[in-house]
Amino acid sequence: MLASMNNTEISTPLRGVARRELLAWMWLLAATATAAKATHLTYGFVRASRAAQQTTSFDVGAMADLPAPGAAPRSVPEGRFWLAQTEEGVAALDGVCTHLDCLLGWDEQAHAFACPCHGSRFDADGRYVAGPAPRDMDRFAVAVVAAEGEPVASTDFAAGKLAAPVNLDSEDAAANLHVVVDISQEALGAPAA
Amino acid sequence: MSGETTSDDRAGREAHGIFAGLSWREVRALLRGDPPTARPNPRYRAHVNSFLLHIRPRYYPAAATRLTHTWFLGLLAVFLFVVELVTGVLLMIFYAPTPEQAYGSLLAIAYHIPFGALLRDVHRLAAEAMVVVVVLHMARVFVTGSYKGPRAFTWLTGVLLLLVTLLLSFSGYLLPWDQLAYWAVTIGTSMAQAAPLIGPELNLLLRGAAEIGADGLLRFYLLHVLLLPLAGILLLAVHYYRVARQHGISLPAAVEEGNLTPAARQAATQKIDFLPTLFLRELVVISAALLALLAAAFYFFEAPLEQHADPFHTPLNTQAPWFFLWVQGLLKLGDKTLMGVIVPVLVFLLLAAVPYLDRNPARRWQRRPLALTLGLTLMIGVGILSYMGTASYGITLPPAVGIGETLAPEEGEGALRRLPYAALTPGSHALDQPFPPTTSPALQSALTTYAGLVEAAVTAGELPQGQAFLDIVERQADLKAVTLRIQWQPPGAATPLAYTRTIYLHRERNADATAQNP
């Protein structure tokens, strides 16, 4: 009954692509390409970030002022890292939680790092203990330099050396050696077991 | 038509533009509840003449407008959105989106600009109410089965509107540039970074740099005041067009599917005109909502403002906004890519796909046990996850720090800051000694709370041989330092451990009960 109201299809024999149709397709292609390029340029525009003027090298003082091996790590808030003397040497632990970028705090009683946001925990050497964090705390490059500026020991991330090993002969040496941390060089922590 | 020109007609010509082509007589009749003054009904013509009326249907079926069917939730959501636009534009007059000025402009709005605090309270309260209303609206549509059949795409636009609502709320969080803002958004963008493939780029796009700073604040500001509202308006237009123009508000399932008597069916599908019936009804609802919103903001609600953002310190008890606590709960469960990105995205995809997955044609709830059970399960799951998202779940503070955080939290007020300035009797109060008679009753009550917390920790063996003190020193005129001091002797340790926490309380601060922090 309603059939008479339906649109009647007019069947036309199939031919090759007509000139007009080809031109229409080319227009469409050109418009798509333009839109894609415009999106790409906009993306590049939005993505560009102004280079931040940031200190990357921190002279954190004499070796003698470092926490003793096994003692609580020392916070360097302006660099957002912690200094610790591990068995392998001097290490600079990135204070940013490897989970979601909150800053870790030090829990004196448990002798561990604790994240205030989601409860991840790391031991004094930055090794993963508990919580949702995916890996150990990250580490920054450390160089131990003599008063004249020549390096005595340093980290070497390429070789897997995550701490700067120092053999101290005397208290004098500890007072004269300076620790310099470079936060532009970072080694990611080992995945949590 | 008579050739005479009455004063009514002249007034009518003047009013022609304002009242969408209705004569003055017609407007009066409309407001008095009289029937139309002419045939065909000139009120219908107004829907053609006026843009604003033309987006509203001329009439609705009676049953579709029942309070117990719609609860006016869609209308209320739009109302709150408009409140946000108006208060938002006003707040923009004084707000400056830079890290140097943002917090200061918030203080100025709260304390110096007439009605500034009220405006900000309304903006914040309406934003949170909007999340609630949008979720309730969605729950209503789900329970009444109104998403089925031709309305599937309408539901999809609704899910997108929910997403826009949540993102609007969240992008607004950063703007005060306080601690809550800074760290909530650090976590949020860090979650975006965990997204597979596009994560790092997305994080960079949002923050504008490796860490949130001036660029990130500006980007969130632009999202909040421009991009997301525009997206919201566009989606709302599509959503509304489909509801009002294409499919109409759904009839209650009982009317559509039930065995009604012809008389009952006729009553249910009888036309109700927008002018004047629904127009006046909506006016009443909106007036009541506006009054309730203003009263709530004025008497009961204070938009929180924490301390200035500090990129070098994450406060204890950092917590997501309540409507994202379920995500924070998920994050505590495991891998951030899975829990922070994949699961929430799946939840939204699942919501969007509801009409396409649910092949049950029945709309009445009695015939949809599976769908309703699953819906209820989702709600309960979100509730449980939200509880797991709170700061008290799964994050253990060292006992002494926990006591300090309860009495004098880093962010928020706590028992010590609530004490009146005059009640802070200077001196060193040892908790195991009887209070001297000069101690004010308010301070005694706070000390009793303090002693209770310490005693509980000592009994639990968390603070062996614990001793606690509260030292109050008048540092200068009108400024007192209040120090919590807890000492304990862990077994095997050579020296006792100690915890101290000092807060400074100023006389003026306590005079103004609305101040958030000293």
Two tokens, residue A77: 């808030």
pLDDT (mean) for A50-75:
83
Q: What CATH number is associated with residue A162? A: 2.102.10.10
Q: Are residues A94 and A141 in the same domain?
A: yes
Residue B431: pLDDT band by 50, 70, 90 thresholds?
A: confident
A42, closest residue in chain B (CA to CA): B205
Sequence-ordered list of residues with C-beta below 8 angstroms from that of A12, at least 6 positions apart, any chain: none
Residue A3: pLDDT band by 50, 70, 90 thresholds?
A: very low
Q: Are residues A29 and A67 in the same domain?
A: no
Q: What is the interface size between A and B, counted as CB pairs within 8 Å?
A: 88
C-beta atoms of A100 and B396 within 8 A: no
Q: Which of B490, B484, B454 is nearest to B472 (CA)?
A: B484
pLDDT (mean) for B402-421:
87
Q: Which of B474, B486, B394, B468 is nearest to B432 (CA)?
A: B468
Q: Are residues A27 and A111 in the same domain?
A: no
ipTM associated with this complex: 0.77
C-beta atoms of B312 and A117 within 8 A: no
Alpha-carbon gap, residue A15 to A26, rounded angstroms: 19
pLDDT of residue B163: 97
Evaluate if residue B302 carries a pLDDT over 50: yes
C-beta atoms of A49 and B339 within 8 A: no
pLDDT of residue A11: 73
Alpha-carbon gap, residue B445 to B509, rounded angstroms: 21
Evaluate if residue A2 carries a pLDDT over 60: no
Answer yes or no: is A5 within a domain: no
C-beta atoms of A52 and B213 within 8 A: yes
Alpha-carbon gap, residue B202 to B190, rounded angstroms: 10
Alpha-carbon gap, residue B496 to B70, rounded angstroms: 65
Two tokens, residue A59: 């002279």
B329, closest residue in chain A (CA to CA): A118
Smallest Cβ–Cβ distance between A116 and the set B191, B318, B336 belongs to B318
Answer yes or no: is A6 within a domain: no
Question: B8 near B25, Cβ under 8 Å?
Answer: yes
pLDDT above 90 as % of chain A = 40
Q: Does B256 touch chain A (CB under 8 A)?
A: no
Answer yes or no: is A3 within a domain: no
Higher pLDDT, B206 or B411: B206
Instruction: Return phi, psi of residue A128, to 5°.
Output: -60, 135
Show me where the domains of chain B are located: 10-39, 63-251+279-306+320-389, 400-516
Sign of CA dihedral B377, B389, A132, B189: positive
Q: Hey, what's the torsion of the CAs at A184, A189, A190, A191, to 10 degrees?
A: -120
Evaluate if residue B5 carries a pLDDT over 70: no
Q: Does B98 touch chain A (CB under 8 A)?
A: no
- Mean model confidence pLDDT for chain B: 89
Sequence-ordered list of residues with C-beta below 8 angstroms from that of B26, at least 6 positions apart, any chain: B12, B19, B36, B37, B38, B42, B43
A133, closest residue in chain B (CA to CA): B335
Supply the range of the domain harboring residue A102. 57-187
C-beta atoms of A52 and B201 within 8 A: no
- Encode pLDDT of B221-238 as tens digits: 999 999 999 999 999 999
Residues facing residue A151 across a β-bridge = A145
Two tokens, residue B169: 């709320």
Q: Are residues A163 and A127 in the same domain?
A: yes
Two tokens, residue B476: 């200068």
pLDDT (mean) for B361-386:
93
Q: Does B332 touch chain A (CB under 8 A)?
A: yes
Question: A131 near A120, Cβ under 8 Å?
Answer: yes
Alpha-carbon gap, residue A97 to A138, rounded angstroms: 9
C-beta atoms of A52 and B209 within 8 A: yes
Residues of A in Cβ contact (< 8 Å) with B187:
100-102, 117
Residue B291: pLDDT band by 50, 70, 90 thresholds?
A: very high
pLDDT (mean) for B319-339:
87
Sequence-ordered list of residues with C-beta below 8 angstroms from that of A110, at least 6 positions apart, any chain: A121, B398
Alpha-carbon gap, residue B127 to B234, rounded angstroms: 19
pLDDT (mean) for B268-279:
92
pLDDT (mean) for B282-310:
94
pLDDT of residue B373: 95
Instruction: Return phi, psi of residue A62, to 5°.
Output: -75, 155
pLDDT of residue A51: 63
Residue A71: pLDDT band by 50, 70, 90 thresholds?
A: confident
Q: Exposure pattern of A151-171 as b/e (b: 16+ CB <10 Å)? A: ebbbbeeeeebbbbebeeeee
pLDDT (mean) for B44-67:
91
What is the distance in angstroms between the Cα of A22 and the nearest Cα belonging to chain B? 34
Q: Are residues A97 and A30 in the same domain?
A: no
Q: Which residue has the tokens 């890519």?
A: B337
- Encode pLDDT of B124-182 as tens digits: 999 999 999 999 999 999 999 999 989 999 999 999 999 999 999 999 989 999 998 89
Secondary structure letter of residue B448 according to DSSP: H
Alpha-carbon gap, residue B375 to B373, rounded angstroms: 5
Evaluate if residue B515 carries a pLDDT over 80: no
Answer yes or no: is A65 within a domain: yes
Smallest Cβ–Cβ distance between A109 and the set B186, B194, B497 belongs to B497
Task: Flag the least confident range among A124-128, B193-197, B224-228.
Answer: B193-197
Q: Which residue has the tokens 């894609």?
A: A36
pLDDT of residue B326: 93
C-beta atoms of B314 and A46 within 8 A: no
Most A CBs within 10 A among B336, B405, B487, hence the mutation to make, goes to B336
Question: B469 near B454, Cβ under 8 Å?
Answer: no
Q: How buried is A50 (Cβ within 10 angstroms: 0-12 exposed, 13-18 middle, 19+ buried)? A: exposed
Most B CBs within 10 A among A96, A104, A109, A128, hence the mutation to make, goes to A109
A143's enclosing H/E stretch is strand A139-145
Q: Which fold has domain B63-251+279-306+320-389?
A: Cytochrome Bc1 Complex; Chain C (1.20.810)
Residue B512: pLDDT band by 50, 70, 90 thresholds?
A: very low
pLDDT of residue B511: 44
Q: Are residues A147 and A110 in the same domain?
A: yes
Decide: helix, strand or coil at residue B432.
Answer: coil
How many Å is the maximal CA-CA distance in chain B?
Answer: 110
Decide: helix, strand or coil at residue A127.
Answer: coil
CB neighbourhood size of A109 (10 A): 16
| Chain A residues within 8 angstroms (CB to CB) of chain B | 46-47, 49-50, 52, 77-78, 80, 99-105, 107-110, 114-119, 131-132, 134
Task: Flag the least confident range among A124-128, B26-30, B492-496.
Answer: B492-496
Number of domains in chain A: 2
pLDDT of residue A136: 95
Q: Are residues A84 and A164 in the same domain?
A: yes
Q: Are residues A78 and A98 in the same domain?
A: yes
- Mean model confidence pLDDT for chain A: 86
Q: Does B190 touch chain A (CB under 8 A)?
A: yes
Evaluate if residue A167 carries a pLDDT over 90: no
Evaluate if residue B6 carries a pLDDT over 70: no
Q: Are residues A37 and A82 in the same domain?
A: no
Q: Are residues A112 and A29 in the same domain?
A: no
Residues of A in Cβ contact (< 8 Å) with B183:
102, 117
Sequence-ordered list of residues with C-beta below 8 angstroms from that of A23, at least 6 positions apart, any chain: none
C-beta atoms of B395 and A107 within 8 A: no
Kindly write down the DSSP assignment for every residue of A63-91, as one continuous string.
GGGSPPTTSPPEEEGGGTEEEEEETTEEE
C-beta atoms of B395 and A46 within 8 A: no
Residues of B in Cβ contact (< 8 Å) with A50:
208-209, 215
